[in-house]
Structure 1
């Protein structure tokens, strides 16, 4: 662990052979800054000191010393500088001997055959970098530094490049092509070819199919009997579900209990509306007290997109107004809302709201929002793609919906009802406007 006052954080125990993460590299950088030994840093991360040593030496970078203006400011960094007594290397004039020792002259490094640049001993001994060196500010030599962001970026690039291309030499590929391609073009199945030339083929049958599909061989998919008739298999991505551990304190029973203890607390319902599967979506919000709705266009059903919308609203109206309008958010168990902490924590780390989940298959628990989605379907019928929409068009549709009279409010519109209790400036910042009654248009051609 870190010594008292340094502020390290003990992460979960790492599995043996696991790659270092960005958080691990941040711990290494912090440890170097605070003069910790490799063993102390290794204890925090949960690995061996040798792993820390290799990580630093592999991902450190060299920063050349600052080039000061003018030749006279150049630093003589020759390793023999202290013992050198050479004079008159420049040979300015015949018979003239310069009284200044060459090691004090800026031309020495260019003229002397014995010049060898001095290297800092830290290059070859722990900690191998100058991150916490006390002489760093005055040292004029080049520096080796370790930066967690640069190290992790370099690691990701190495990881990516190591998985590119094919695991076979050019000569082996040519030999494989000369063996397989003519037989495929004769109509022979790959299984037949592989069975009769197993010792000559340096890869698996599945790899042969991949080489053909990626055009590494002269044979093509069209040369095989059934390949082009089959649809390409697609892996079904597993969408993250709301963890039961993370739902503790966020279930619908907890929501009812909180409302009972804090009567009159404003509630906001949140959901998403899908156009066509795999396309863009709408993230919607509704206040049941007045049926005022917001809608934002998002690229995909990923949690990063839905959190980004919440961050945008906070940034637009400010944290205090956000707390006033969004004290409680009630949503469903969709993967796009899987981590309540990401929604509850503000941009600056301050708690901005409370997130609760409806019970599974009980959409009626946020029935006002589900019912209000009917108005969206008037303008955007089911199976309509949202990919060509813009946020401006979505906002126009929302303003028409919010300006439509509701029988449940005795003919009053959601936006007029909201103006009685909501901050007008906040509503304007969110793009909410009143549409005149006779101009309300709830047909698909509204967005044409």
Structure 2
């Protein structure tokens, strides 16, 4: 109910024949002995604290509803957000990359998208619609490595050594493809290296590591990939060949393996494959047999130019250049990686197809 006159004020609104309690403070029937029984007055007024609090809360909520911005500025911001989401960028990256144009928290962008502003919906966010039921567990397969290369042995290493380790895995295309992609993920800088393998075998992996070692030199290879954590795939079974240097057969790295069906132990690599799949998505009929080195250079340039919230808004290439300029220059020159400015970032297959079109090649999808 509306507030009555204060103590000492005149009623004004109460009719002359109203109860005397309504013509003086506190202007309500609260406290009257006839409140519930025996009251024959036509006009009654009761105060409810719970009802008054509900009305007050509704008033405050209504005052804060909507967006605190001018209509034109908000429409322009939403157009920018929609354009960036279409390029595969996450709300966190948009909030960081567009901070000079509008200051907004990533959760606010998520809320705007969920509310349907600018015709958007959660279906445009890959992570919200990309989940699927897990497969039923199968019997564990025996591993080819001994306890000296187990995850337990890796966990026993000093924390500094584990923090600078690289994570290695492979990504496949269609089931009929011969070629696949070998990925090397640097934990400290989040740099993702992608190497094309002619086949998914241990000898092909060893040859790819040999090529990379010759391109950047053994000292830099050991600084970046001197400690590697991988899974129990057949392509990593010959650990001695993977560890053997291309120069005089000496050791270049130390390989450790995760436990069986425990890919979360190299979660950084697995999470970065989500970004890789934005550029080479599943279910689009993309054959990895059509890929070449230039395609992977485009993929790595886009992936490693993403601003990462975990790196305080820096990209992996910028982080590597700040930490080790010599290694960054050698790695980027050897693999054709370029720093892509935010305005040209495109985390979709369109980035690869445009480059292929310039080279006179058909699109992948």
**Does 2:225 match 1:326?**
yes
Using the alignment, how far apart are the partners of 1:297 and 1:242 within structure 2? 28
Match of 2:208 in 1: 309
Aligned in 2, Cα 1:313/1:443: closer, same or farther, shift over 3 Å? same
Pick one of 303, 310, 324 that aligns with 1:408.
Answer: 310
**Does 2:350 match 1:445?**
yes
What is the CA RMSD across the aligned residues, in angstroms? 1.7
Using the alignment, how far apart are the partners of 2:299 and 2:261 within structure 1? 29
Pick one of 259, 264, 279 that aligns with 1:364.
Answer: 264
What is the SS of the residue equivalent to 2:175?
A: coil
Using the alignment, how far apart are the partners of 2:335 and 2:148 within structure 1? 30
Match of 1:275 in 2: 173
Give the deviation of 1:243 after TM superposition.
4.9
Give the deviation of 1:432 after TM superposition.
2.4
Match of 2:336 in 1: 431
Give the deviation of 1:278 after TM superposition.
3.3
Match of 1:160 in 2: none
Using the alignment, how far apart are the partners of 2:309 and 2:276 within structure 1? 18
Using the alignment, how far apart are the partners of 1:300 and 1:342 within structure 2? 16
Aligned in 2, Cα 1:308/1:441: closer, same or farther, shift over 3 Å? same
What is the SS of the residue equivalent to 1:420?
A: helix
Aligned in 2, Cα 1:264/1:374: closer, same or farther, shift over 3 Å? closer
Q: Per-residue CA shift, 1:19-56, capped at 9, x if unaligned?
A: xxxxxxxxxxxxxxxxxxxxxxxxxxxxxxxxxxxxxx
Greater helix share, structure number: 2
Whether the aligned pair in 2 keeps the contact of 1:242 and 1:334 (CA below 8 Å) is no
Using the alignment, how far apart are the partners of 1:400 and 1:372 within structure 2? 12
Using the alignment, how far apart are the partners of 1:265 and 1:436 within structure 2? 28
What is the SS of the residue equivalent to 1:304?
A: helix
**Does 2:255 match 1:355?**
yes
Match of 2:151 in 1: 252
What is the SS of the residue equivalent to 1:369?
A: helix
Aligned in 2, Cα 1:266/1:444: closer, same or farther, shift over 3 Å? same
What is the SS of the residue equivalent to 1:387?
A: helix
What is the SS of the residue equivalent to 2:289?
A: coil
Structure 1 residue runs without a partner (length 5+): 1-240
Aligned in 2, Cα 1:336/1:354: closer, same or farther, shift over 3 Å? same
TM-score (structure 2 length as normaliser): 0.54
Match of 2:273 in 1: 373
What is the SS of the residue equivalent to 1:435?
A: coil
Q: Greater relative contact order: 1 or 2 (C-alpha under 8 angstroms, separation 6 or more)? A: 2
Aligned in 2, Cα 1:288/1:265: closer, same or farther, shift over 3 Å? closer
Alignment: residue pair count: 206
Using the alignment, how far apart are the partners of 2:216 and 2:197 within structure 1? 20
